[in-house]
Amino acid sequence: GMSEITADHPEVQAMVEEAIKSASVSEVTLSPEIYAEVLERAIAELMKKNKDRFPGAPEKGGWVVDNYPLSVDHWSALSEKGLLPDTVVCLKDTEKDGVCILRRTYLANRDEINSKILKRQTEEAIEKKEERRKEMEEILTSEEHQSVEAAEEKGKKIILPELAEDDFSDIPEMETIKRKIDLFMHDWLTVESEIKQSSLVQVVVLEIAEQTPESLLNQTVLVMEKPFKYHGWELSAEDLDEEAEDLAAEGEDEEVEEEEN
């Protein structure tokens, strides 16, 4: 007959573990329609006060949306409501396997991650000690065993290791964060190609390694201002000829007008 599969079955446990991992990575996201509606209302409110920002301020524009969900459906919902931004900025960390963002995330959640590392190291130490105890039992008498254990107790203390930059990607406790980053990169590629279908939206991808928030802001502002800057271009011989003809024609028109008057 078939053996009964219980919750303790290794395959069941592996599946549960995988489901927990996925849940810890994926975040609850509201529907595209709700996002677009809330954004539409917020922008309508902004537009009421927009003209008061500075003399001659336009009522449209002047808004920034941070951390908008990375999905094609959410992007389409914006498009349908005519809420597409002029510029989309994506901050990426691709240098040295993304160590910059791993380090930053570690520092922001240091206590929580450190306690997880300590817990794991303590469990590993207990397991090793248990293995040694079993080995000892086979060799030593009870009294000898106790004196060896007492000596071991004195010398054992678990200390958190100092983490160097290269260590961040190897810590099991950073695995969830690494998965989130991978997921983001995957989603970004899909959404980026969708965004680029609209010729009105410019996409800027900035590398965050070795940058400060100020330098990233300055780069973004430069890109945003570029379309409004005056661009001079070199005139070819044909352009100059054309301009000369236009000027001559204008001169003739003026002469005709004067004669008529």
**Residues 37 and 132 reside in one and the same domain:** no
> Per 3-state DSSP, what percentage of the chain is helix, strand, and coil (rounded to 5)?
65, 5, 30
Rounded to whole angstroms, how far apart are CA atoms 215 and 241? 45
Asked if 63 and 43 count as a contact pair (C-beta separation under 8 A), the reply is yes
Domain contains 230: no
| pLDDT above 80 (res 211) | yes
Position 252 in a domain: no
pTM, two decimals, is 0.57
Same domain, 101 and 218: yes
Tokens encoding 76: 């389409």
Residues 107, 211 share a domain? yes
pLDDT of residue 225: 82
For residues 161 and 101, which has the higher predicted lDDT (pLDDT)?
A: 101
Q: How many CA atoms lie within 13 A of 155 on its CB side?
A: 7
Residue 16 maps to a domain? yes
Give residue 68's domain range.
1-85
Residue 78 pLDDT level (bands cut at 50, 70, 90): confident
> How many helical (H) and strand (E) elements, i.e. helices and strands, does the chain have?
9, 2
55 lies in the same domain as 118: no
Residues 13-50 have pLDDT tens digits of: 777 777 776 665 556 678 888 888 988 898 888 888 88
What is the mean predicted confidence (pLDDT) over 188-205? 86
pLDDT in tens, 122-160: 888 889 988 888 887 777 766 666 665 665 555 556 666
State yes or no: pLDDT of 203 exceeds 80.
Answer: yes
- In a domain, residue 241? The reply is no
pLDDT at 2 over 60: no
Examine the pLDDT at 231 and tell me if it is beyond 70. no
Q: Provide the domain count of the chain.
A: 2
Buried/exposed code over 139-155 (b: 16+ C-beta within 10 A; e: otherwise): eeeeeeeeeeeeeeeee
User: Do 20 and 115 have their domain in common?
Assistant: no
Residue 218 has pLDDT above 60, yes or no: yes
